[in-house]
Amino acid sequence: MTLLILLLAVLLLILLITVIKLHPFISFLIVCILTGLCKGMDVGQITGSVQKGIGELMGSLMVILCVGAMLGKLVADSGAANKIASGLIQAFGTKRIQWALVLTAFIVGIPLFYGVGFVLLVPLVITVATRYKLPAVYLGLPTLAALSVTHGFLPPHPSPVALSEQFHADMGMTLLYGMMIAIPAIIIAGPVFSVTLKKYTNKPLAIFTSNDIPEDKLPGMFPSLLAAFLPVLLIAADTIVKVIIPQKNDFTKIIHTLGDPSIAMLLSLLIAIYTLGTRQGKNIKTIMAPMGDAVKDISGILLIIAGAGALKQILLDTGISNELIQPLTTLAIHPLLLAWGISAILRVSIGSATVAGLTAAGIVAPMIASSGVNPCLMVLATGAGSLFFSHVNDPGFWMFKEYFNLTVKETIKTWSVMETIVSVAGLIGVFIINYFI
């Protein structure tokens, strides 16, 4: 009976989001209420669980996600991303221009949220493709593969951060393992797969061509790279110090403080405000204005994460999670594959990678204690599954189609295949790391 209730809850969630077109947050709340009622909870208990689930998850994530959105907006608006791209293209040369764009996307994709990265980098790709007379899809898909991987695998992006909280995984180790998996996944789904894409010579719509920012208006290369990479460096340094210097002293306390994700993001933002803002002659009011818009841009993601937190708590408080632990652990399926599979099924059904990953986490997270699987790898397996086969129910699918002027069939053969390669490569990478740790 418990399994049936869970299956009906997931099916209802899919129905409300994809068929009825309700906002995912409202859909989560409806499913939470009905699931609680089916398990005999009264209304007061249900609302209490919902509030607890939202509060516990959002309380630990709000600073990271909101400050991260502000940092990404500053990197985009200041021209730092353009500076990194132009510098790398100049360094790599025209023959390796694709690799320059991929590396650009990987670097600026770490602080930029996916939607921001997409609308920032795709016009740049189209402009470069037009200038050097190369197929736009051939340059664009590898660039977006890098953005997709950072979005699905690497903190401080919302989904990996929220999954780390759900699975109680160390964010620094998740980032390091994620980097180890991300690089080969990007290469396979990007430059390697793109060898088959030169036949797609569709001319992108001229409206999406970017306007070049004058070189003298761009920030320097060092402050641009520093703004993009500083959060990663601080969090990674904290993790490395924990491993090589387990005993606490004044030095390790400083590193652990700076490497705390919230502190790392806030410090990086403050430094970027100076290096990319006031040092460039901008006043604080001008710099701050777009930051409010940045938080508005991610409000939908915040609501999705909040809804997933509520559902997780309902599954715990009704006992559904605990009742499912024993049957799931007796299945002849590795927990990492199970997490990836559930996330992939939800991704194909719902379209949203964030909803898919967080919903899957709420189902499989209770297994960790009994399975002995590294929680960081569960984060990455779930994140990889959430990227599987993007198609017509995913807004990203339509954005790629319209920007690159493709048919639906061509978009499936390019974009959807790339996302599937990223997902499967991520799963393989997770199992390789799991074998050695």
Query: Of 41-50, 115-124, 232-241, which has the strongest mean pLDDT?
Result: 41-50
The yes-or-no verdict on residue 210 having pLDDT over 60 is no
pLDDT band at 341; cut points 50, 70, 90 = very high
DSSP 8-state code for residue 333: S
How far apart, in whole angstroms, are the C-alpha atoms of residue 107 and residue 159? Answer: 18
Q: List pLDDT tens digits, range 51-98.
A: 999 998 888 788 888 998 899 889 888 888 888 988 888 899 888 999
CB contact at 8 A, 213 and 219: no
Q: How far, CA to CA in Å, does 318 sit from each of 32, 36, 46, 308?
A: 10, 7, 9, 15
**Confidence at residue 20, expressed as pLDDT on a 0 to 100 scale:** 92
Q: List pLDDT tens digits, range 1-57.
A: 777 898 899 899 989 998 998 999 999 999 999 999 999 999 999 999 999 999 988
pLDDT band at 312; cut points 50, 70, 90 = confident
**Confidence at residue 246, expressed as pLDDT on a 0 to 100 scale:** 83
Q: Which of 124, 306, 281, 135 lies closest to 211, judged by CA?
A: 124
Helix (H, G, I), strand (E, B) or coil at 358: helix
How far apart, in whole angstroms, are the C-alpha atoms of residue 243 and residue 437? Answer: 14
How far apart, in whole angstroms, are the C-alpha atoms of residue 319 and residue 423? Answer: 31
How far apart, in whole angstroms, are the C-alpha atoms of residue 25 and residue 43? Answer: 19
The yes-or-no verdict on residue 257 having pLDDT over 70 is yes
183: buried, middle or exposed (CB in 10 Å: 19+, 13-18, 0-12)?
middle
pLDDT band at 402; cut points 50, 70, 90 = confident
CB contact at 8 A, 376 and 170: yes
Query: What share of the chain in percent tops pLDDT 70?
Result: 96
**Confidence at residue 59, expressed as pLDDT on a 0 to 100 scale:** 85
Q: Which residue has the tokens 């590898």?
A: 142
395 Cβ neighbours under 8 A, 6+ residues apart: 351
Tally of CB atoms within 10 A around 26 = 14
Token couple for 21: 């077109």
Range 392-400 average pLDDT: 87
Range 201-213 average pLDDT: 69
Q: Whole-structure pTM over 0.85, yes or no?
A: no
Range 412-433 average pLDDT: 97
Helix (H, G, I), strand (E, B) or coil at 134: coil
CB contact at 8 A, 347 and 151: no
Q: Where are the beta strands (DSSP E) in 188-248?
A: none
pLDDT band at 195; cut points 50, 70, 90 = very high
Among positive and negative, which fits the CA dihedral 81, 82, 88, 89? Answer: positive
The yes-or-no verdict on residue 206 having pLDDT over 80 is no
CB contact at 8 A, 62 and 306: no
Token couple for 408: 């639906």
Token couple for 402: 């319209």
CB contact at 8 A, 357 and 407: no
State the Cα torsion 375-379-382-387 to the nearest 10°: -160
Q: List pLDDT tens digits, range 348-370.
A: 988 889 989 999 998 888 888 77
343 Cβ neighbours under 8 A, 6+ residues apart: 356, 357, 359, 360, 381, 382, 383, 384, 385, 386, 388
100 Cβ neighbours under 8 A, 6+ residues apart: 85, 88, 89, 91, 92
Q: Which of 317, 311, 362 lies closest to 40, judged by CA?
A: 317
pLDDT band at 325; cut points 50, 70, 90 = low
How far apart, in whole angstroms, are the C-alpha atoms of residue 122 and residue 115? Answer: 11
How far apart, in whole angstroms, are the C-alpha atoms of residue 228 and residue 222? Answer: 10
Query: Of 6-15, 91-100, 181-190, 237-246, which has the strongest mean pLDDT?
Result: 181-190
**Confidence at residue 44, expressed as pLDDT on a 0 to 100 scale:** 96
DSSP 8-state code for residue 276: I
How far apart, in whole angstroms, are the C-alpha atoms of residue 134 and residue 115? Answer: 24
Helix (H, G, I), strand (E, B) or coil at 266: helix
Query: What share of the chain in percent tops pLDDT 90?
Result: 57
131 Cβ neighbours under 8 A, 6+ residues apart: none
Q: Which of 173, 143, 135, 122 lies closest to 377, judged by CA?
A: 173
How far apart, in whole angstroms, are the C-alpha atoms of residue 437 and residue 432? Answer: 9
Q: How far, CA to CA in Å, does 16 sit from each of 12, 21, 43, 304?
A: 6, 6, 21, 14
